[in-house]
Amino acid sequence: MAGKTVSLKVLAAHLGLTVSTVSRALNDYADISPVTRDRVRKAADELGYSANQNARRLSIGTPETVCYLMPRQIGANVQPFVAQLLAGLGEALNDRNWDLLVSQAETSVGDMTSIERLVRSGRVAGIVISRPLKNDPRIKLLQQLGCPFVVHGRTANSVDYAWYDVDGEDAFVTAINHLERLGHRRIGFIGAPLQYQFAQERLDGYTRGVAHNGLSQDPDLVQIAEFTDDGGTAAAGVLMDLPNPPTAIVCVSDMMALGALEALHARSLTPGEDVSVIGYDGLYFGKHANPPLTTLAQPQAHAGRRLGDILLSIIDGADPIKFQELQRAHLVQRMTDGPANVDAGQEDVSVREEPQ
Amino acid sequence: MAGKTVSLKVLAAHLGLTVSTVSRALNDYADISPVTRDRVRKAADELGYSANQNARRLSIGTPETVCYLMPRQIGANVQPFVAQLLAGLGEALNDRNWDLLVSQAETSVGDMTSIERLVRSGRVAGIVISRPLKNDPRIKLLQQLGCPFVVHGRTANSVDYAWYDVDGEDAFVTAINHLERLGHRRIGFIGAPLQYQFAQERLDGYTRGVAHNGLSQDPDLVQIAEFTDDGGTAAAGVLMDLPNPPTAIVCVSDMMALGALEALHARSLTPGEDVSVIGYDGLYFGKHANPPLTTLAQPQAHAGRRLGDILLSIIDGADPIKFQELQRAHLVQRMTDGPANVDAGQEDVSVREEPQ
DNA sequence: CTGAAAGCGCTTACAG
DNA sequence: CTGAAAGCGCTTACAG
């Protein structure tokens, strides 16, 4: 019923003042008498006045809005981190009463078009993008458009823009070191398509860890598959069916690791005893896997907040390259890592190679 | 480098026309000569012109924007459906080039304030809210403000607004019927705090199913707990430690069901054999639970798209109460449901009641 | 301390 | 078919 929206003009008339005075009173101009200021404030509250933002933003020349470019689903994966990221971004923006827009394009080309439109039509003052490709054309576009942005993740060449990422390479070195201490010498790697930078980074970490520890560098131990649980199952199947299978497997994501567990179960192998498996992401859900999944957990909780703060700083004029922040993942030991059991793998293979 | 944003005025000057003509050419007015129209279009493309939306929307009198009020986390739960919902909403809005805003308040009171501000400041033409309370004050507020909205879920009294929901009551009747056919006579219910309407609905379904099938109506079989996996573990613990424990348990969410599985494992009970467990949500992840979780799956995929379309229809003037859509959940049988095993439960209790 | 006026970048009757 | 002008609802120099 209070459906009628009240404008500055109406409020001013109600007070017997001009819009000019009322506007300045509401915006805390110093040259407004305290008495008037309070009168105006009170009336605004009573009438439920709230400045029309389209008008205000047109006038002040900024959209006071930031856009999160939601990543498309890769494979069948849901994106459990999106809600958390948005909450954090929103928190950062709330502090100055800015708005958060969400956009998701159907295709990569669509992404380019919508970024260009979003910026050119003055709808956003900055953009956050997630999970970039190795060589992501959106970054060059944003730079050309002169639009402030921050990347959640990194590209191959990440020197000249702002990003916030978790050190996947370091994480995989950590995983390999851990497995080496448990006595593993042949460790498999289940990866995702390498056009994603995160996939490449994690493979680099695996490669470095394996070399550094003098472990087997058998190329068959590296399996790239579709970025889903089924991809993980397929890749683990290939690994375990090798003449000389690994005693441990590291996976680029928890979802792929869960798939890998299925492949072990199908071969009557016990994860964590016969074969160790380590995932990546730290999904809460892994706690309830069969058995509970050991994983490299990313510190996701503050990513959104931090990305928001960084973007606002850049919009305020800070130099983007001052914001290149690398977080560390940490190992969360649950039940799928354990001492190397060389026999188990071998035995299994010989059984399958000599059917009854 | 193309950082300069080009305005109508610049474009018009470039063409030797007035902004009036150029604007109408771009907006497909019939009274513009085809030749001019094409010339204008071409120049706009070349200069990368895109109408400033703040100005445009101020002029046409609608924000062309819709807001999704993101639910706060309940307990430790992530909201895996948020990304999917946003994608669907975005799809519906994309068709007319509208924008999607996301807002999350810290508190319920904050929700009220931000809704009022969002509407009064002319930032949004409509709002989508998720997971309402039994008696949700936001709904009355939106009605008073005269702001078009649609609810994802329902309140206790849902006659006079638009909603899109899954029939939780029906789903739980289905679950009870299924378990009854498997021979279960004592079925436990693990619920969430009843201020959420979905929690009440699902309990109603349980109650109805149990009564209809003449099963035990022992009040101890109903356990309300915190809406998390730990809550599920605690509630299942209470149920299984009853003198006469249930042979099956239905849970209001998959997350709580996963917690319940832990309680069974802790008592060396095998889910699906000794005690059946059925969850609700159809989380993909349940596939990898220990053992894979039987669940009532909600048809989530199109919720966002449908909510978006409904909201746009209402904004266009349609009567909200024409949009009250109830979807059905369906049983996804994985490994945690099975024939009643009355002995197991009893045996277990007696063992615990007579320590060695 | 307050008011009158211009301007933000569009759209859209209204003339011609 | 095109142009000149008013208006959307604000903000902000500029007078007084």
Q: Is the CB of B108 under 7 A from strand D?
A: no
Nucleotides of D under 7 A from a protein CB: 1-5, 7-13
| Two tokens, residue A260 | 């890998």
Neighbours of B205 (CB within 10 A): 25
| Two tokens, residue A158 | 């990440």
Query: What is the C-alpha to C-alpha distance for residues A89 and B72, in angstroms, rounded to an integer?
Result: 14
User: Interhelix angle for B197-212 vs B168-181, to 10°?
Assistant: 30
CB contact under 8 A, B229 and A288: yes
Q: For residue A320, what is the enclosing H or E element?
A: none
Question: How much is the pLDDT for A342?
Answer: 64
Q: What is the CA radius of gyration of chain A?
A: 27
Q: What tens-digit pLDDT sequence spans chain A (356 residues)?
A: 345 789 999 999 999 999 999 999 999 999 899 999 999 999 999 999 999 999 999 999 999 999 999 988 765 566 778 888 999 999 999 999 999 999 987 777 888 999 999 999 999 999 999 989 999 999 999 999 999 999 999 999 999 999 999 999 999 999 999 999 999 999 999 999 999 899 999 999 999 999 999 999 999 999 999 999 999 999 999 999 999 999 999 999 999 999 999 999 999 999 999 999 999 999 999 999 999 999 999 888 799 999 999 999 999 999 999 999 999 999 999 999 999 986 544 443 333 333 33
Instruction: Give yes or no on whether A65-166+300-326 and A168-298 have one common fold.
Output: yes
* Interval B287-315 mean pLDDT: 95
Q: Phi/psi at A26 (nearest 5 deg)?
A: -65, -30
Assign 3-class secondary structure to A165-227: EECHHHHHHHHHHHHHHCCCCCEEEEECCCCEHHHHHHHHHHHHHHHHCCCCCCHHHEEECCC
CA closest to D3 C1', residue? B18
Tell me the pLDDT of chain B averaged across its residues: 92
Q: Phi/psi at B228 (nearest 5 deg)?
A: -145, 175
Question: How much is the pLDDT for A55?
Answer: 97
Residue B5 burial by Cβ neighbours in a 10 Å radius (0-12, 13-18, 19+): middle
pLDDT tens-digit map of A222-250: 999 999 999 999 999 999 999 999 999 99
pLDDT tens-digit map of B62-120: 999 999 999 887 655 667 788 889 999 999 999 999 999 999 877 778 889 999 999 99
* All structural domains of chain A with their residue ranges: 65-166+300-326, 168-298
CB contact under 8 A, A80 and B76: no
Please, which pLDDT band fits residue B1 given cuts at 50, 70 and 90?
very low
Confirm if B235 and B256 have CB atoms less than 8 A apart: yes
Residue B78: which of A84, A103, A120 has the nearest Cβ?
A84
B282 CB neighbours in chain A (<8 A) are none
B87 CB neighbours in chain A (<8 A) are 70, 73, 104
Residue A204 touches chain B, beta carbons under 8 Å = no
Nearest to B259 by CA among B241, B243, B277, B246: B277
Neighbours of B244 (CB within 10 A): 12
Confirm if B118 and B124 have CB atoms less than 8 A apart: yes
Residue A243 burial by Cβ neighbours in a 10 Å radius (0-12, 13-18, 19+): exposed
Contacts of B52 (CB under 8 A, 6+ apart): A58, A121, A122, B5, B7
A119 CB neighbours in chain B (<8 A) are 5
pLDDT tens-digit map of B203-262: 999 999 999 999 999 999 999 999 999 999 999 999 999 999 999 999 999 999 999 999
Q: Residue B180: pLDDT above 60?
A: yes
pLDDT tens-digit map of B158-174: 999 999 999 999 999 99
Query: What is the C-alpha to C-alpha distance for residues A26 and A44, in angstroms, rounded to an integer?
Result: 9
Q: Phi/psi at B103 (nearest 5 deg)?
A: -140, 140
Per the structure, the residues numbered 48 to 77 in protein chain A that have their CB within 7 angstroms of any atom of strand C are 55, 58-59, 61
Residue A90: which of B57, B76, B103 has the nearest Cβ?
B103
- Exposed e or buried b per residue across A145-162, where buried means at least 16 C-beta atoms within 10 angstroms of its C-beta: bebbbbbbbbbeebeebb
Q: Is the CB of B37 under 7 A from strand C?
A: no
At the top level of CATH, the class of A168-298 is: alpha beta
Q: Does domain A65-166+300-326 have CATH number 3.40.50.720?
A: no
Question: Using the 8-state DSSP alphabet, how is residue A271 labeled?
Answer: B
Q: Is the CB of A208 under 7 A from strand D?
A: no
Question: How much is the pLDDT for B75?
Answer: 54
Q: Is the CB of A13 under 7 A from strand C?
A: no
Residue A3: which of B70, B87, B145 has the nearest Cβ?
B145
Chain B residue with Cα closest to A56: B54
- The percent of residues in chain B predicted with pLDDT above 90, rounded, is 85
HSE value, Cβ hemisphere, 13 Å, CA-based, for A68:
33
Nearest to B85 by CA among B298, B346, B233, B280: B298
B334 CB neighbours in chain A (<8 A) are none
Contacts of B344 (CB under 8 A, 6+ apart): B247, B269, B273, B274, B275
Confirm if A122 and A101 have CB atoms less than 8 A apart: no
Chain A residue with Cα closest to B102: A100
CB contact under 8 A, A101 and B103: no
Question: How much is the pLDDT for A110?
Answer: 83
Q: Which of residues 134-163 of B touch A (CB under 8 A)?
A: 144-146
Per the structure, the residues numbered 251 to 290 in protein chain A that have their CB within 7 angstroms of any atom of strand C are none
| Two tokens, residue A193 | 């398509």
Higher pLDDT: B34 or A349? It is B34
* pTM of the full structure: 0.91
Residue B3 touches chain A, beta carbons under 8 Å = yes
